[in-house]
Amino acid sequence: MRYFPAFLDLQSAPTLIVGGGEIAARKLVLLSQAGASVTVVSPRASAGISGRAKEGGLRWLARRFEPADVAGMRIVIAATGDRDVNTAVARAAREAGIPVNVVDDAALSTFIVPAIVERSPLVIAISSGGVAPMLATRVRDLIENLLDESWGRLALFAERWRARIRAGIADLAARRRFYDWLLDGPAAALVRAGREGEADRILGERMTAVSPPTGSVTLVGAGPGDPELLTLRALHALQAADVILVDRLVSPQVLTRARRDAEVIDVGKTPGGHGARQERINRMLVAEARRGRRVVRLKGGDPFVFGRGGEELEYLQRHGIAFEVVPGVTAALACAAYAGIPLTHRDHAQGLQFVTAHCRESIDAIDWTGLARAGQTLAFYMGIAELDAIRDRLTTAGLSPATPVALVENGTCENQRVVVTELADLPGAAHRHSVGSPSMLFVGDVAAFATKLHWFGAAPVVESSPQVSTPASRAA
Ligand code: SAH
């Protein structure tokens, strides 16, 4: 580490800015926000600076820099754009033992100014040690996105309660748990939603409650595989988790974004039949939450789309466990996007249906006549074992055997494969190319767009070259 990071208390401190342009004005704003008493030395000054000087917000000496100007200053910033002047400022400050920063010149500086993310009173400073300012800016942007404006409110809220919490909860471990609850639980959510009064109330209740804190469960959609498709909220939940219960379909890349010391439990491999497995997962969720842990239940795609998310929440509710839900990008949307299939299109599809063809019994419960209606796109989940049945039922219900279909296997992942053919050939094409699970099946005119709008991964395999029919060609 080349530089020692620190935050300076500059309340009422005499500070010097040499220079009167835009950059100097920006430094002035920051120093003023920090409560410094600023002197600007520059023959000319921008309107912002001269205006503030007139209002009495700073002292402006409208002349050239003289070495004696640094006397008594706590810090000095040179922002003149003139290397000779900057060098003179740096020398004078160094000789007087005063920290000096020359804008964009680490060699002349004795301190550097970090990129900051300000969520006052929370301030995050980022520095690449002057080596790669662009990188620092990039990191700042990432953090900007990660921490929205509400973090400042939350910090003020925590500050307001700090003394009372310290007095009320003597045990350090208990206090830490309380803060975990405060920052990740319902009180924080209320503060973020601008409902501080309610947050105060539940915090007060919590302080007086004798029972140990209960955790909560956040049901999180992990998206289809590509971790870049996680929502920011999903990322926050993953980074706050004590324990994460994951399904088989969640990609390992997504888990690399989770908090490093979170315990990860793969419930996709839990032994037992489907029902037994689900019952065990439900019980684990409740048990982990009752231990006071922050539990993330991570599911592929969206938790409410063929993901049994609703059933798990009903169970939690029956057992008095608080929960939240974070939506995810469901496989139909993600696979269509990454395969170049517009799910609706003014000329081809006015509607979209999500269908599951999971098992024999449910297949006859489906309204095939409704699905076979023209002008819509069908997105089948878990259909790969039932392709014969899907083709037969749809054609019997009146859908043309020439309707384009696309299979998207491992959508959004590096090994994504897309096979395009027509409905009559669906089981045959899947068999010839050994298309396996997980795969989405798209049925409808728009499926043919994969042949021309593909942009991600390997080019699609096109079997019976279905045409994208335009209104003109259809009329012909
Ligand atoms: N809740 C999930 C769906 C769970 S059902 C969601 O919203 O996406 C599991 C089915 O989703 C799989 O059988 C497959 O049809 C589909 N699926 C999930 N991830 C997929 C992926 N990366 N590529 C293709 N299909 C996927």
Q: Which top CATH class is 332-475?
A: alpha beta
C-alpha 51 to ligand 1 mean position (Å): 61
> Which of ligand 1's atoms lies nearest the C-alpha of 408?
24
* Contact 306 CB / ligand 1 (< 6 Å): yes
Give CATH 1.10.8 domain extents, the chain.
150-208
290 touches 254 (CB < 8 A): no
Catalytic residue status for 269: yes
Give CATH 3.40.50.720 domain extents, the chain.
14-113
* Contact 406 CB / ligand 1 (< 6 Å): no
The whole-number mean pLDDT for each consecutive block of 10 residues of the chain, a chain of 476 residues, reads 92 96 93 95 93 91 96 96 95 97 92 90 89 87 87 89 84 81 86 89 78 77 96 93 91 92 84 74 93 92 94 93 95 98 95 86 86 95 94 96 97 97 97 96 97 96 69 40
* Contact 251 CB / ligand 1 (< 6 Å): no
C-alpha 226 to ligand 1 mean position (Å): 13
Torsion of CA 95, 96, 99, 101, to 10 degrees: -60
Catalytic residue status for 302: no
- Comparing CA positions, the residue from 316, 443, 329 lying closest to residue 386 is 443
Specify the pLDDT at position 470. 45
Residue nearest to ligand 1 atom 5, measured at CA: 306
Please give the CATH superfamily to which domain 14-113 belongs.
Answer: NAD(P)-binding Rossmann-like Domain (3.40.50.720)
Specify the pLDDT at position 269. 63
Just give the CATH number of 150-208: 1.10.8
Specify the pLDDT at position 475. 38
Instruction: Tell me the β-bridge partners of 417.
Output: 409
Specify the pLDDT at position 471. 43
Specify the pLDDT at position 469. 53
* Contact 411 CB / ligand 1 (< 6 Å): yes
C-alpha count within 13 angstroms, C-beta hemisphere, residue 175: 13
Give CATH 3.40.1010.10 domain extents, the chain.
216-329
* Contact 249 CB / ligand 1 (< 6 Å): yes
Q: Which top CATH class is 216-329?
A: alpha beta
pTM for the model stands at: 0.64
C-alpha 271 to ligand 1 mean position (Å): 21
Give CATH 3.30.950.10 domain extents, the chain.
332-475
449 touches 408 (CB < 8 A): no
* From 82, 269, 367, 388, the catalytic residue: 269
C-alpha count within 13 angstroms, C-beta hemisphere, residue 174: 14
Torsion of CA 17, 21, 25, 26, to 10 degrees: -100
